[in-house]
Amino acid sequence: MKLSWKTVALWLLPALVVGFFLWQGTVGNAANNAGSNTANTRMTYGRFLEYLNADRIVSVDLYDGGRTAIVQVSDADLENRLIRSRVDLPSNAPDLITQLRNSNVILDSHPVRNDGMVWGFLGNLIFPVLLIGSLFFLFRRSNNLPGGPGQAMNFGKSKARFQMEAKTDIMFDDVAGIDEAKEELQEVVTFLKQPERFTAVGAKIPKGVLLVGAPGTGKTLLAKAIAGEAGVPFFSISGSEFVEMFVGVGASRVRDLFKKAKENAPCLIFIDEIDAVGRQRGAGIGGGNDEREQTLNQLLTEMDGFEGNTGIIIIAATNRPDVLDSALMRPGRFDRQVMVDAPDFKGRQEILNVHARNKKLSPSVSLEAIARRTPGFSGADLANLLNEAAILTARRRKEAITLLEIDDAVDRVVAGMEGTPLVDSKSKRLIAYHEVGHAIVGTLLKDHDPVQKVTLIPRGQAQGLTWFTPDEEQGLTTKAQLMARIAGAMGGRAAEEEVFGYDEVTTGAGGDLQQVTEMARQMVTRFGMSDLGPLSLESSGGEVFLGGGLMNRSEYSETVAARIDVSVRSLAEQGHQIARQIVREQREVVDRLVDLLIEKETIDGEEFRGIVAEYAEVPEKERFIPQLQD
């Protein structure tokens, strides 16, 4: 077993202390009493005087300045054999020496030995040296640890990771699905490699590039690709590493970072999650964070202040550009803002090609079909999807990933882990009617997204799920489409009411009602799709941030607020009535679909539409997207 230096130190220091005191006691006593401890027995002073008066004392050796004596006594009981004994002599017996001489006793005196002083001196010298050496060793080792006591002198130093040649092992070929962002950033690489192409026509190297996008879209991956392609010194740091509890430390770290960067120019600086340090100044309630504001001020000065920073390009990433300080966003600091959006169908297919390089896929698996199956997925979501499919394949002891694992992985990523199937009961039948209600309304409304599948297999918090495939190509949404979505969301509650009665409705429609209310309110207050007219009555950012909207007055009167409530309720009720009418008119096919769903637990979109087409005319939906099938 390999012991760490901390474990050794914890055992070494107490051992040194205990060993020192034990050694002092034993060595000192042994040195002082080396001669006096040679006797076999001890004798009292009174018995010594009795033997002296009887002329049985043969010799006396005095030690410790006359305080201790080793005497030889002739024992008559043992045929006059000599016995050595130790006697402690009193200090106030001046006639004792005279009496010993008068009795013809062989008398000898031994001087006090100085060995104890020598050993004591050595002990007192060696132990402090060992202790100081151990503490020095611990201090030196702690200097190399982050946050150790030796780091106090480097408290204001930058914590940026520096690489003279960025070894990210990522190039632009490893980044897929965000071609527009790659094209923008390829110019940055060209600026660093061939600046003369731009300076010849008077162009200047951009000071900073801000990558903006949702989490998982590939902002950090793009920064790694830029570092790998440029081949220049690369600094990487997180925005939170600038801010400390002590005022001025963050600003000192910014200065130190740019000092190192200037020494290695041309170079790249990547600041991840810059919103941690670049938030708006002076908007706090009751005083702002002075440390964060001083850090931001220093960053603004370094990027475009009195002194230039030629040859340094700053790349920053954030998913909250709305909270950044306006001084940070102006030209001359972050000259470019590159949007890194979620990939489209073609982009998802390219991303899947990248992540499938080291995956063993079955020949029946089509990456194109997977890309069509996953609208709205980011690059991180797609990577996680293939990884989950690979884990399921290994768990099922298969040799290659099949469509079944892909389909299960998509469901797991979107809705959560699969739960225990429901037993056949009234609750299961009620849930089946609820899910079929969603699906039947969505199928028979022309402007609704097509049904992908209906399932009674619980996932996450949901006891059953109805999957729709939204259209990703159309960026705008019509009022008819929003009303169709409201009616589709009300389909579950409508089926419960039509089949079981109003008194038997369940809490399963709670999430649906929240979704309906939100869509209806946005139609009224943001999109102008109500009798209130084309008015935008609420801003898109409703939350209070940094005190920006806490004390703002209402944007409309109480009369308008009451009309908004009436309009929202009217739109929700309109969708509710549409859903109830469809379920009422298609009751026969609803019952058949429920029986089939209880039996199979999952019905895919093709089969569902085929059964509905036997009873009613299914409108043709131009936005229909082919489904994954196993």
State how far the Cα of 449 lies from the Cα of 438, in Å rounded to an integer: 11
Distances (CA, A) of 120 to 12, 128, 135, 254, 422: 22, 13, 23, 56, 83
How is residue 94 written in tokens?
């001046």
Beta bridge partners, 312, equal 267
**Contact indicator for 322, 329 with CB cutoff of 8 Å:** no
At 71, give phi and psi (nearest 5°).
-115, 150
Cβ proximity of 524 and 485 under 8 Å? no
Sign of CA dihedral 453, 458, 460, 464: positive
| Residues shown for the chain | 630
Q: Tell me if 48 sits within 8 A of 83, measured CB to CB.
A: no
Q: Burial of 140 by CB count in 10 Å (0-12 exposed, 13-18 middle, 19+ buried)?
A: exposed
Q: Cα(255)–Cα(273) distance, rounded to whole angstroms?
A: 19
498 catalytic? Reply is no
Q: Which whole-number Å values give the CA distances from 292 to 239, 243, 269, 270, 369, in the listed order?
A: 10, 6, 19, 19, 48
Name residues whose C-beta falls within 8 Å of residue 204's C-beta, 6 or more positions apart in sequence: 198
Q: Are β-strands 451-455 and 465-468 bridged in parallel, bridged antiparallel, or unpaired?
A: antiparallel
**Residue 338, phi then psi, degrees to nearest 5:** -105, 120
**Residues 229, 435, 496, 497: which is the catalytic one?**
435
3-state helix vs strand vs coil in the chain, percent to 5: 50, 15, 35
Q: Which residue in 97, 74, 84, 100 sits closest to 37, CA to CA?
A: 84
212 half-sphere exposure, CB direction, 13 A CA radius: 15
Peptide bond into 363 cis (omega under 30): no
Q: Provide φ and ψ at 86, rounded to 5°.
A: -105, 140
**Encoded tokens for 211:** 């990558």
3-state secondary structure of 394: helix
Burial of 546-576, coded b for 16+ CB within 10 Å and e otherwise, reads eeeeeeeeeeeeeeeeebbeebbeebbeebb
| 283, 548 contact by CB (below 8 A) | yes
Each as own residue / partner, the long-range contacts of residues 97-102 (CB below 8 Å, 24 or more positions apart, any chain) are 99/52, 100/52, 100/57, 100/60
Query: What are 368-375's contacts with CB under 8 Å, separation 24+?
Result: 369/403, 369/626, 369/628, 370/406, 370/628, 371/345, 371/346, 372/345, 372/625, 372/626, 372/628, 373/406, 373/407, 373/410, 373/469, 373/627, 373/628, 374/348, 374/410, 375/345, 375/469, 375/470, 375/472, 375/625
Identity of the amino acid at 228:
G
Which three-class secondary structure state does DSSP give residue 314? strand
Instruction: Provide the annotated active-site residues.
Output: 435
